[in-house]
Amino acid sequence: MIRIRGLAKHYGAFEALKGIDIDVAPGEFLVVLGPSGAGKSTLLRCINRLTTPTRGEIHIDGQPASDGAASLRRLRCSVAMIFQHYNVVPRLSVEKNVLTGRLGAMPSLLSWLQVFPRADVAIARECLRRVELEDKAKRRTDTLSGGQKQRVGIARALAQQPKVILADEPVASLDPKTSRTVLTYLKQASRELGITVVCNLHQIDYAREFGERVIGVSAGRVVFEGAPDKLSDDVLHRIYPGLEEAGSTAAAPQPAEPHPPLMRDLVLKEA
Ligand SMILES: Nc1ncnc2c1ncn2[C@@H]1O[C@H](COP(=O)(O)OP(=O)(O)OP(=O)(O)O)[C@@H](O)[C@H]1O
């Protein structure tokens, strides 16, 4: 579904991405792990062309992603985004926020007037049902909790009926219990609707729990690619260089515990 080859992004003299090759299968739930500044957001922004790569090729569903008008239109329809800070419009109702996911598919006059065809309202309601928020449809979105706002973000992305969802640290602002709920809704929708998801995360626990495959990015390069159960201590040190200096020295795996102390420290810090 997504094929990335030799992707590089420079900001002036700084190389944020240094030649990345990634393939994502249709319907796959791929987690991208990496320390702050590794280039995870830049990667997502290159995929949906919010930023223009310096070098490299990206194909989505066999079509090249480029800055041409036709390509951008295609990308805006087929690739949806979920953001860390939800990006909902606070004073709009929950349902209207979800309906904004339909704007790209609507005639421009109707979208300008914010008149939504009945079929689009039905799609929005179905998406709200998926995240179990149908009873909040008419509520102002600023009256919801953070977790509920992110579920609105998921419903809005689903309303777009995308082939791909890019989620940029979707649970970074949420507590662990709410984070799991939100990721469960996202994974369920991905599985049931066959949507490919690329999800940037900071939490190793959630990568293990929700990722079907994990990519580790460090300093603009892919340093790991594999199944979540392959996230050993060695791998984590490759993804997070300098981890020992920052935390405890007890980095050796301790099979009696679900997570070695070093990993747990990192998870708690991020949660
Ligand atoms: N518009 C920009 N101009 C200059 N430098 C940028 C820009 N956007 C990102 N960078 C730099 O590129 C590097 C990668 O940033 P990016 O946001 O992709 O990292 P990240 O892995 O998503 O980090 P975080 O987990 O903190 O969000 C960072 O050093 C950042 O400062």
Tell me what ipTM this predicted complex has.
0.97
Ligand 1 contact, 50 CB (< 6 A): no
User: From the CA of 234, how far away is ligand 1's center (Å)?
Assistant: 25
Structure tokens at 67: 């800055």
Quick: pLDDT tens for 196-249. 999 999 999 999 999 999 999 999 999 999 999 999 999 999 999 877 654 433
Instruction: Give the pLDDT band (50/70/90) at residue 144.
Output: very high
Quick: pLDDT tens for 50-68. 999 999 999 999 999 988 8
For 72, counting Cβ atoms within 10 Å of its Cβ (0-12 exposed, 13-18 middle, 19+ buried), the class is middle
Q: With a cut of 80, say whether residue 271 has pLDDT above it.
A: no
For 69, counting Cβ atoms within 10 Å of its Cβ (0-12 exposed, 13-18 middle, 19+ buried), the class is exposed
Ligand 1 contact, 151 CB (< 6 A): no
Structure tokens at 134: 């149908």
**Nearest residue CA, atom 31 of ligand 1?**
37
**Nearest residue CA, atom 26 of ligand 1?**
36
**What Cα–Cα distance (Å) separates residue 3 from each residue in 7, 20, 60, 73?**
10, 10, 7, 19
**What Cα–Cα distance (Å) separates residue 166 from each residue in 27, 45, 257, 258?**
12, 9, 33, 29
* Predicted pLDDT of residue 104: 74
Instruction: For residue 178, give the 3-state DSSP assignment.
Output: helix
Quick: pLDDT tens for 235-270. 999 999 877 654 433 332 222 233 333 343 343 333
User: How much is the average pLDDT of 116-127?
Assistant: 92
* Predicted pLDDT of residue 246: 46
DSSP state of 48: T
Query: What's the whole-number average pLDDT of the chain?
Result: 87
Q: Which of 9, 14, 15 to mutate to test the pocket of ligand 1 (most atoms within 8 A of CB)?
A: 14
> H helices of the chain, where?
40-47, 69-78, 94-99, 108-113, 118-130, 146-159, 176-193, 204-210, 233-239, 243-246, 261-270
Asked if 17 and 43 touch (Cβ cutoff 8 Å), the reply is yes
* Predicted pLDDT of residue 163: 96
* Predicted pLDDT of residue 117: 84
DSSP state of 92: S
CATH of 2-90+164-270, one of 2.30.30.830, 3.40.50.300, 1.10.3720.10, 3.40.640.10: 3.40.50.300
* Predicted pLDDT of residue 125: 96
For 135, counting Cβ atoms within 10 Å of its Cβ (0-12 exposed, 13-18 middle, 19+ buried), the class is exposed
